[in-house]
Amino acid sequence: ETGVTQSPTHLIKTRGQQVTLRCSSQSGHNTVSWYQQALGQGPQFIFQYYREEENGRGNFPPRFSGLQFPNYSSELNVNALELDDSALYLCASKGGGFDYGYTFGSGTRLTVV
């Protein structure tokens, strides 16, 4: 039982639309990261939140934004969807220090048509 749940599991959106993906982290995990995993690629770091503030960001445009809430849930928002945004989006959380690994959710498969 990993304790990280993501919703929805699958989603189809039209180019130009906006989408919100949700994640419920493991209780006590105050760090959450979001990753984009394209087919055949490793997870690419989007951003990270610690205690409700963004404290790290990968090479993604501002139309990718997020929120973290006090109840260990978080959101990934993507505006003006593009076809290349089609991917598996992973949420991962952890507590403890830098040397602890992440616990991953199963992901949300987003398809942009």
Partner 1 sequence: AQRVTQPEKLLSVFKGAPVELKCNYSYSGSPELFWYVQYSRQRLQLLLRHISRESIKGFTADLNKGETSFHLKKPFAQEEDSAMYYCALSPYNNNDMRFGAGTRLTVKP
Q: Which residues contact 75 (CB under 8 A, 6 or more apart)?
A: 20, 21, 22, 23, 66, 67
- Does position 66 interact with partner 1 (CB under 8 A)? The reply is no
- The 3-state DSSP class for residue 75 equals strand
User: Least Å distance between CB 15 and partner 1?
Assistant: 27
User: Least Å distance between CB 37 and partner 1?
Assistant: 9
Interface ranges with partner 1 (CB under 8 A): 2, 31, 33, 35, 40-45, 48, 50, 55-56, 58, 90, 92, 94, 98-107
